[in-house]
Amino acid sequence: MPQPTLELLPNMNRPLLQLLAWSLCLLLAAPAGAQKSVGEAIDDAAIAATLKASLLDHKDTDGTRINVESARGVVQLSGFVRSEAEKATAARLAQATPGVKQVINSLVVAAGTSIGTRLDDSLITGQVKAALMDAADVSSLQINVETRDGVTQLAGFVASAAMKARAEQVAAGVAGVRRVDNALQVKRR
C-alpha cells in the first residue's frame, strides 16, 4: 500500500482543519450551551468551526491568535492581532460565515512581544484561569483568557452582568495583571 506523500498533504489540510475545528467546538459547546437547545448548540459549534477554519486558512489572519465564540448566531472575536487590517479582515470573514447574525469584534491590536514577555503573559493567563475556576460564582468554562504585556482580556458569553463584573474583579486580583480588558458579553435570553 503506498504511503501518503508530502504532495498530498496540502490538499488534505483545509478539510482536516475544518474537521478538527468543528470537533473541538462540539466538545466545548456542551458546557457553554447548557441553556441552549441541542440544535442551537450544534448550529453555534458549526458557525464557530467554519469561521475558525476560514481564519486559519486566510493568508491575512493568524487564526491561532483569534478566539471565536458563538451564541445563537452572535459571534465574538477576541484575542490580540498585529494590525487593524487583520482585525478588519477577521470581522469580514465572520460576517460572511453562514448563520452569523451579528459580529462583536473584541480583537485588540498589539505589537509583537519578546519571548520572555510571552512567557510571563502565559503564566499570568494560567493564573487568571485558575483563579476564575476557583471562584464559585463564575462559570469559567465560558470565558476565554488572553494576556499581552500584562493586559488580560476576558471574552466569551456569560449568564449575567454580575458574573461579568465578578470575573473582572477576580482577574484584576491576580499578580502581574496590569489591566483587565473585559470583553465578556451577557447572553441574550
Taking the domain 115-186, which CATH number applies?
3.30.1340.30
pLDDT tens-digit profile of 24-33?
A: 554 544 444 4
For residue 37, count other CB atoms closer than 10 A to its CB.
10
What is the pTM (predicted TM-score) of this model?
Answer: 0.71
pLDDT tens-digit profile of 98-155?
A: 999 999 999 999 877 778 878 899 999 999 999 999 999 998 888 999 999 999 999 9
The pLDDT value recorded for residue 116 is 80
* Strand segments (E) across the chain: 66-71, 74-81, 102-105, 108-109, 143-148, 151-158, 179-186
Cell 468551526 belongs to which residue? 49
Q: In which band, very low, low, confident or very high, does the pLDDT at 10 lie, cut at 50, 70 and 90?
A: very low
Domain boundaries, the chain: 9-109, 115-186
